[in-house]
Amino acid sequence: MKKIIYIIIGVMTVIVLAFPAYAESPPENPDLLFDIDEQLDALGRDELEAQVPRETRELMRATGTDKLSVGAMLLLSPDAFFKTVAALIREQVLQPVRTLASIVGVIVLCALIGALKTSSGENRISQTFSLVCVLCVLVSVITPVLDCIVATSNSIKDTSLFMLSYIPVFAAALSASGSPITGASYSVFLFTACQVILQLVSATLVPLMGIYLALCIMGSLIPDIDIASATKTIKSIVSWSLGFFVTVFVGILSIQTMVAGSADTVTVRTAKFMLGSFVPVVGSALSDAYNAAQGCFKLLKTTLGAYGVVVAALTFLPVFIQTVIWYMVANLAVIAGDIVGVKSISGMLRSCAATLGILIAIIVSFALLIIVSTTVVMMAGLGSA
């Protein structure tokens, strides 16, 4: 009886094993199974593109990077970027040149009146005319300086609001590419920085810069009041604070990224080892497919990172060019005033140039904070296997 049972079991085993086993072989090109555009749509590409500021979207359209895609990011070239910069300069340089010509004319006229004062001895008339000249120059310069202050504030606000929508999407791409710890640290870090910057700009930047400009102009118009030392101290404090703020934030993020990148590398290699060792027969094929998927997700991460850097750079670019042009105009006018000896106008213009210099430092600091932070995180883990 036992022999019969053994024979039956053996026959059934042979019958079962006689059926051929079918398994799908891995594709020759696993990248074809990964649709970057589909993944970008799943992450909310349309919503993210809609959050880009309108002026920035126009500049991105001019450079061919208005669409969030791999092809659009590859189209960005130095030639297109410099053409965009040249177009912005041509668009914004006309009014500053006219203002500079009018200021130089007023400076020359004031110098001629000063020479007539020396020959005729009419001090009262020359002093009155000198004050009128200073007020004329002030009216010509004060409006562009205030426009630069408002434009800087708006650019920082627009970039911060875009980053609040961009950070979760980029953090999700980081997590999908095998860097969940890096994505979490980046999300918490830059989200906090954007919130702090947004509150500081909306509550303090415009009023404080207006107060600083008023103090500088008052010190130049009323020589008896010594405000120059106070304004220089304020400028030094703001400049050093901005440098310290950016250095500390980027340094902390860099350290966190290095540590988190090492942890993410260990996680990825552990997953590959588990697939290759514990999955029978097709473990090596699954490990290769996992490598291919990681490469595709890294492409997704770098595409999103490059898009965020382009948006931030092009948002700050117009106001940066505008402020630099007016800064150069103010300094050229200061040189003209110093040459002909009109100290009152030179002092007032030097105050406006100091205010514009602080604005340039603020623009560069906040732009570098976002661009460098995103680039550091984007480059993390690209070389990990």
> How far is residue 359's CA from residue 294's CA, in Å, rounded to a whole number?
42
Note whether residue 1 is domain-resident: no
Highest mean pLDDT: which of 3-12, 58-67, 324-333, 372-381? 324-333
Give the pLDDT score at 324.
94
Q: Please give the residue range of the domain that contains residue 281.
A: 141-379
Contacts of 94 (CB under 8 A, 6+ apart): none
Task: Report if residue 352 sits inside a domain.
Answer: yes
For 35-45, what is each residue's pLDDT tens digit?
677 877 887 88
- Residue 332: inside a domain: yes
Please, are residues 53 and 158 in contact by the beta-carbon 8 Å criterion?
A: yes
Q: What is the mean pLDDT of the chain?
A: 75
Q: Are 363 and 319 in contact (CB under 8 A)?
A: yes
If one compares 188 and 368, the residue with the highest pLDDT of the two is: 368
Q: Is residue 146 pLDDT above 80, yes or no?
A: yes
Can you list the pairs that 255-260 forms with residues at least 24 positions away whose Cβ atoms lie under 8 Å?
256/185, 256/189, 257/182, 257/185, 257/186, 257/376, 257/377, 257/380, 258/380, 260/179, 260/181, 260/182, 260/184, 260/185, 260/380
Give the model confidence (pLDDT) of 74-83 as tens digits.
777 788 888 8
Burial (CB count within 10 angstroms: exposed 0-12, middle 13-18, buried 19+), residue 148: buried
Q: What is the pLDDT of residues 290-312, one digit of tens each?
A: 555 666 777 788 888 888 889 98
Tell me, what amino acid is at 64?
G
Taking only the tens place, the pLDDT of each residue in 318-372 is: 999 999 999 999 999 889 888 887 777 887 888 888 888 888 988 888 888 888 8
Q: Is residue 65 part of a domain?
A: no
Does some domain include residue 18? Answer: no
Mean pLDDT confidence for 198-214 = 75
> Token match 């030094």: residue?
236
Give the pTM: 0.78
Q: What is the pLDDT of residue 160?
A: 83
Residue given tokens 């049972």 in the structure block:
5
- Indicate whether 153 pLDDT > 90: no
Please check whether residue 278 lies inside any domain of the structure. Answer: yes
Residue whose pair of structure tokens reads 């540590």 in the numeric block = 259
Find, among 322, 312, 283, 295, the residue nearest to 381 by Cα: 295
The answer to the question of residue 26 being in a domain is: no
pLDDT at 33: 39
> Residue 313: inside a domain, yes or no?
yes
Asked if residue 23 has pLDDT above 60, the reply is no
CA gap 93, 325 in Å, rounded: 7
Question: Which tokens sit at 327?
Answer: 């800064």
pLDDT computed for residue 24 by the predictor: 47
The whole-angstrom separation of Cα 304 and Cα 166 is 9
Q: What is the pLDDT of residue 16?
A: 47
Number of domains in the chain: 1
